[in-house]
Structure 1
Amino acid sequence: MNIRNHLIEIQCNHRDINDVAQALIHSIIFFRTHGKFNYKHEGSYSIGTLGYERAFCDQFDLSYIRCSSLSLVTRINNKIQEFVDRITEFTHSGLLTLEFYTKKPSRWPFNDSKFVWEMWNIKITLIQPQASGLSPTQGASNPQQPLAINNQYNNPDGPYHSNHHHQYSHRNSESAIKLEDLISQKLLDIVRIANSEKCILPQMPTQPNLDTVFDTSFSDLQPYLYNISYRISETAPGSHSVIGGMSTKYGGDGGTVADTAQSSLKKFLLGTLEL
């Protein structure tokens, strides 16, 4: 299965990063999650109802749909907060990567092989304080053919419409409104991509192999196995450095496919040498 790569680019202020990342990551994972599988016998199963809820951004007037599982929401938000906490005054941009993959059990002493089938890269470029009045740049997501979208995503009362009113008087500026519009468009892009006929999902596994395709650690739902990692680019006067973020896969070990393979090989070779 070929890896499908999707790029989403956003330019925003530091205070908006958490909202932006949560809205995008939660929306993607929502479309890559099923209700809990219940097997009657091999080859016969039912899929439970997937609970969902409407979430609201803290810094601007925007709402989106996410899974209503507290444990899943907490895991995702903790990883995003880890990313946000790494942002400093010298940070130029950050890249959040969301990978969906399947596992193939490997013989000892190697770790299970990971095969990524879909990757989402969310690049967030920070607007410097002196340029806070700039409008958000129109980021380009992965090109897709126009698809029909359910009316709930177009009508004024739909879940992706910015009609929830908090205390946003301090953000009532042209740049804030453009950021809201931009994120709304990105959420619609996610709907188009996730529901595209070109998005071929992994085959449903047999019961013994369920955890090679889905994360079965949750009691109320089953997302496809996924991994969230990040990179942060920092620019200091007279120098440029890139800080690599830790990679975490919920329910198992982290790292990219290459990292996992190299780590397993090193452990095997070191063990052999010690003998």
Structure 2
Amino acid sequence: MNGRSHKFDLNVDESCCEELLSALLHTLFFHRSTGRFEYSGENNYSIGSVGFEDVDCQLLDLTYVRSNCSELHAKIQREIANFHQQLIKPINRDYGGQLHLEFYEKRRPRWPLRMEENIAWEIWTFQLNLVDVFDREKFFQQLSSTIIEKILLISEAITSTEYAPKIPVLSDLNLIFDTSFTNLQPYLHRIHSTFNNDTSKPVRQVMSRMFSDAFPM
């Protein structure tokens, strides 16, 4: 299975980084999670439902949907907060950084002494560039529209073509899904970050009042 990659490039104000990433990551996890599996035998199963809730952003003018799993909320928030803390450090803030979300499956080794392999089948990368904002109201309005477009693109990309791993038999469940949460099962995933502080040209830019080039796609 070849992993599919998606990348979004976003110019953001420091104050809205965490809110923006929360909307995007929760949208992805909502689509890439199922209710918990209940097996009766190796191949027979039923799937529970995934509860959801609407979240109104404080700075951005948008509402997004997320699962109602508090454990997942806490995990996502920790990852976002860690990324944000690194992004605003002087060594990183002029060059931006990427937050990566990878969904993967485990492959059992074919030989006794080999390790399990983690094979990524979907990768989402969010490139965030910090910018200086003069007109915050106009900036947040424009950014809100951009994030709504990204959320729609995420939903369309996930639902238009199904290329997630097949539902496993009971003995393979932990090779496909993360079963550590109480009331849902996201696909196995990894969140990590990279930063561009070794790049020769910084991407940080001063925003004009007209925002003519504020949101490159």
Q: Which residue is equivalent to 1:204? A: 167
Q: Give the Cα separation in 2 of the matches to 1:110 and 1:74.
A: 34
Q: Give the Cα separation in 2 of the matches to 1:38 and 1:213.
A: 15
Q: Which residue is equivalent to 1:26? A: 26
Q: 178, 181, 185: which one pairs with 1:215?
A: 178
Q: Give the Cα separation in 2 of the matches to 1:110 and 1:79.
A: 31
User: SS at the partner of 1:86?
Assistant: helix
Q: Which residue is equivalent to 1:145? A: none
TM superposition shift of 1:232: 1.9
Alignment of 1:121-132 (within 5 A): 121-127=125-131, 129=132, 132=133
Judge conservation of contact 2:59–2:140 (CA < 8 Å) in 1: no
1:123 aligned partner, one-letter code: Q
Alignment of 1:84-233 (within 5 A): 84-87=84-87, 88-90=89-91, 91=93, 92-106=95-109, 110-127=114-131, 129=132, 132-133=133-134, 171=136, 173-197=137-161, 199-233=162-196
Alignment of 1:234-273 (within 5 A): 234=197
1:112 aligned partner, one-letter code: E
Judge conservation of contact 1:11–1:124 (CA < 8 Å) in 2: yes
TM-score, structure 2 normalization: 0.85
Q: Give the Cα separation in 2 of the matches to 1:46 and 1:53.
A: 23
CA 1:53 to 1:5, structure 2 compared with 1: closer, same or farther past 3 Å?
A: same
CA 1:217 to 1:175, structure 2 compared with 1: closer, same or farther past 3 Å?
A: same
Q: Give the Cα separation in 1 of the matches to 2:198 and 2:114.
A: 38
Please give the per-residue CA displacement for 1:35-94, whole angstroms capped at 9, x wherever unaligned: 000112221110001111112223222210111100011011101111011122451211
TM superposition shift of 1:7: 1.1
What's the Cα RMSD here?
A: 2.0
Judge conservation of contact 1:234–1:240 (CA < 8 Å) in 2: no
Q: Give the Cα separation in 1 of the matches to 2:195 and 2:153.
A: 25
TM-score, structure 1 normalization: 0.67
Q: Give the Cα separation in 2 of the matches to 1:22 and 1:89.
A: 23
TM superposition shift of 1:233: 2.3
Q: Give the Cα separation in 1 of the matches to 2:180 and 2:16.
A: 31
Structure scoring higher RCO (CA < 8 A, sep ≥ 6) equals: 2
Alignment of 1:37-56 (within 5 A): 37-56=37-56
User: SS at the partner of 2:146?
Assistant: helix
Q: Give the Cα separation in 2 of the matches to 1:62 and 1:190.
A: 16
The answer for unaligned runs of 5 or more in structure 2 is 203-217
Q: Which residue is equivalent to 1:264? A: none
